[in-house]
Structure 1
Amino acid sequence: MSESSTDVPGLTLRTPEGRPYRFDPGALCLELLPTGGYARYAAYEVLHTPEDLVRWAGESRLPGGLSLSVSAEELARAHELRGALWNLTADRAHGRALARADLAVVNAVAAEPPLVPRVDPGSGALAMAPDATGAALLSTVARDAVELFTGPYADRIRECGSDSCKLLFVDTSRPGRRRWCAMERCGNLHKVRAHRARLATGPEPAQRPQP
């Protein structure tokens, strides 16, 4: 994860080769997942310190200018919440039952007081009250997950269609036909591979006219 953009939602991620691409998972809670995780996702870990979680909040779809302090305990809680969200989102994408233990983590974090929205006195735009805590940030993320898993888009939670990509997203598009994490990454790769496969098979033999 690197620089953010205020023009379009989502995060700027990088391929293993270092090429940046824009990934919009469609929800705040799903923006936490690409920060890393356990097992095979541990190699993608970027939340090593409390400051890393503060940085992620600034790159997320939350309003800019968030004043936030995070403790080591809250960082550990973020890792726990992220693990539960990984499991729940993947289970939902594949039609599996949601694990009670993972739901308990999300519900417990959501029960804490969330970030407090307000109207910025200078710009009139949406902002968050200053001096927020990591617990409030995580509560806001967990509440977003509760809304996602119980809302109208719960059946549109999906895993990227590429066999080599496990990024998860919610399809909020009107037609509901989103298949890839990002067209500029997996979508285009699929098109290239399909084109090469067609070239490899060659043109179909011409049909001989019937007598």
Structure 2
Amino acid sequence: MPQPFDPPNAGMAPVFLADHPVLDFLNTVAVVEGRPVDFLQSDEDVLRWLKQAGFTEEGAPKLTGAMLLAAARKLREAVRGLVAKRKVGSRADASVFNAFLAKTGSYPQLVWEGRKPPRVERVREQKSPEQMLARLADSAADLLTNGDFDLIRECEDDSCVLWFYDRTKSHRRRWCSMAACGNRNKVKAFRQRQLA
């Protein structure tokens, strides 16, 4: 049974700290003050997140009834399950994710303008919520197949659920953010050493 999520407090917004947009998408669910918070509460929240992440397409339709929100949450949880299974080296059922990809409605098109050499562009229809999320779903498929899962990690803070891609030079990143979880754990370790 899914855990209930609190809506975010006014002024709170999802963070972009994972060094990969798909992991940032998973991080739209976070633990804030000990409670799970879902930053996606409406179609507008999803559209705002897609724009911030660079996944918006021209010609997006107006949707009603939180259809985009439902599709985004479904995609997010399908990808979360696949990332978690891939991280531990387990086999996973990709049927929900593949069904989502099947609805994205894109195709390659040859573009040849003037004297420029021809190129292939992907045409993406924007008639359904799944089609509006197609670029994000493609990025998730790429992460799952080509990502270095030795460098894809969950924050080591026991109360944090955020993911990140460790792109540091030493590949020793442990926290979603040094300013938040890293600092809190360093202070905690310092206090424990002082007590000892």
Q: TM-score by structure 1 length?
A: 0.65
Aligned-pair distance for 1:69?
3.5
How does 1:130-169 map onto structure 2 within 5 Å? 132=126, 134-169=129-164
Going from structure 1 to structure 2, the CA distance change for 1:49 and 1:97 (only over 3 Å counts) comes to: same
Going from structure 1 to structure 2, the CA distance change for 1:42 and 1:59 (only over 3 Å counts) comes to: farther
Match of 1:10 in 2: none
1:196 corresponds, among 178, 191, 195, to: 191
2:29 corresponds, among 22, 27, 36, to: 36
Match of 2:111 in 1: none
Deviation per CA, 1:72-95, whole angstroms, max 9, x where unpaired? 3333221111111222223333x1
Unaligned runs of 5+ in 2: 1-7, 109-122
Q: Distance in 1 between matches of 2:175 and 2:130?
A: 32
**Large movers: runs of 4+ above 3 Å:** 18-23, 63-70, 113-116, 129-134
Q: Distance in 2 between matches of 1:42 and 1:136?
A: 32
1:89 corresponds, among 77, 83, 90, to: 83
Deviation per CA, 1:39-87, whole angstroms, max 9, x where unpaired? xx99412322222211111222x16796633533333221111111222
Deviation per CA, 1:102-127, whole angstroms, max 9, x where unpaired? x22222323323599xxxxxxxxxxx
Tell me whether 1:104 sits opposite 2:103 in the alignment: no
Give the SS at the match of 1:44: strand
Aligned-pair distance for 1:161?
0.7
RMSD: 3.6
Partners of 2:106 and 2:124 within 8 A in 1: no
Equivalent position amino acid for 2:100 in 1: V
Count of residue correspondences: 169
Equivalent position amino acid for 1:148 in 2: L
Q: Distance in 1 between matches of 2:57 and 2:71?
A: 23
Q: Distance in 2 between matches of 1:82 and 1:199?
A: 42
Match of 1:113 in 2: 105
Going from structure 1 to structure 2, the CA distance change for 1:199 and 1:180 (only over 3 Å counts) comes to: same
Match of 1:49 in 2: 42
Q: Distance in 2 between matches of 1:50 and 1:146?
A: 23
Q: Distance in 2 between matches of 1:162 and 1:132?
A: 39
Aligned-pair distance for 1:28?
1.7
Q: Distance in 2 between matches of 1:20 and 1:184?
A: 16
Aligned-pair distance for 1:160?
0.3
Structure label with greater radius of gyration: 1
Partners of 1:30 and 1:168 within 8 A in 2: yes
Give the SS at the match of 1:54: helix
Q: Distance in 1 between matches of 2:158 and 2:29?
A: 19
Partners of 1:68 and 1:130 within 8 A in 2: no
Q: Distance in 1 between matches of 2:192 and 2:107?
A: 51
Match of 1:27 in 2: 20
| Between 28-37 and 181-190, the greater mean CA deviation after superposition | 28-37
